């Protein structure tokens, strides 16, 4: 029953899509100014997101938001240094979505942490998978394996997809590493 509920909630969340209008030149200019300001702020951490990193992050956010009608990524937190990477929280709510950067400011992956007890929380991970070009059917079959306690890690489209299943602690984490 739990599998059926999980599969249904994943399909419902990924099925909610919307069409967005292309950005105007004024919006693009404003985004560029925001990117430059962001680079200045990140220098306090002695870290600068590369132009390629900013472009990839912004394209990811645009793609993610086009799949999600509500709860779009809007308020991006400042990058912070943890262990071997720089992390930037893109979304905090029923799921936490983060992007990982190398020390040279390039995107090296994405992370999604969810509370599987919350309705549709794993749907966020499905949208991230779709946003980075992974096959959603393959991804969902691996999520199901992980929920069942089976080995579920796999590689696709240049990403190592790994699952950390700590359901007994109310946490489920998926890493999408390049």
Asked if the model's pLDDT at residue 164 lies above 80, the reply is yes
Structure tokens at 119: 């309705």
Average pLDDT, the chain: 81
Structure tokens at 77: 């937190």
How far apart are the C-alpha atoms of 54 and 6, rounded to whole Å?
33
From the list 67, 103, 64, the residue with the least C-alpha distance to 87 is 103
How far apart are the C-alpha atoms of 129 and 33, rounded to whole Å?
29
How far apart are the C-alpha atoms of 106 and 61, rounded to whole Å?
16
How far apart are the C-alpha atoms of 13 and 9, rounded to whole Å?
6
Asked if the model's pLDDT at residue 59 lies above 90, the reply is yes
How many domains does the chain contain in total?
Answer: 1
How far apart are the C-alpha atoms of 89 and 144, rounded to whole Å?
26
Mean pLDDT of 149-173: 91
Q: State the CB neighbour count (10 A cutoff) for residue 74.
A: 9
In the chain the first and final C-alpha atoms are separated, in Å, by 34
CA angle (156 as vertex; 151, 157 as ends), nearest 5:
165
pLDDT tens digit sequence for 89-147? 999 988 899 999 999 999 999 999 998 777 777 889 999 999 999 999 999 999 999 98
The parent domain of residue 45 ranges over 2-177
Asked if the model's pLDDT at residue 37 lies above 90, the reply is no
84 or 87: whose pLDDT is higher?
Answer: 87
Question: What is the pTM for the complete model shown?
Answer: 0.74
How far apart are the C-alpha atoms of 177 and 158, rounded to whole Å?
8
Q: State the CB neighbour count (10 A cutoff) for residue 33.
A: 10
Alpha helices of 43-110 — where are they, by DSSP H? 51-67
Asked if the model's pLDDT at residue 48 lies above 60, the reply is yes
pLDDT tens digit sequence for 146-159? 988 899 999 999 99
5 or 169: whose pLDDT is higher?
Answer: 169
């Amino acid at each position: 029953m739990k599998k059926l509920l999980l599969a249904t909630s994943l399909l419902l969340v990924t099925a909610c899509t919307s069409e967005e209008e292309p950005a105007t030149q004024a919006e693009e200019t404003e985004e560029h100014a925001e990117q430059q300001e962001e680079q200045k702020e990140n220098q306090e951490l002695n870290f600068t997101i590369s132009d390629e990193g900013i472009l990839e992050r912004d394209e990811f956010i645009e793609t993610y938001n086009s799949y999600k009608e509500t709860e779009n990524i809007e308020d991006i937190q400042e990058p912070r240094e943890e262990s071997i990477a720089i992390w930037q929280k893109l979304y905090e709510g029923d799921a936490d979505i983060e992007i990982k950067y190398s020390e040279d400011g390039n995107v090296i992956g994405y992370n999604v942490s969810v509370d599987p007890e919350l309705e549709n929380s794993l749907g966020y991970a499905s949208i991230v998978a779709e946003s980075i070009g992974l096959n959603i059917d393959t991804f969902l079959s691996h999520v199901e394996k992980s929920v069942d306690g089976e080995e579920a890690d796999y590689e696709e489209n240049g990403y190592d997809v790994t699952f950390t299943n700590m359901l007994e602690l109310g946490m489920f984490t998926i890493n999408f590493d390049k």
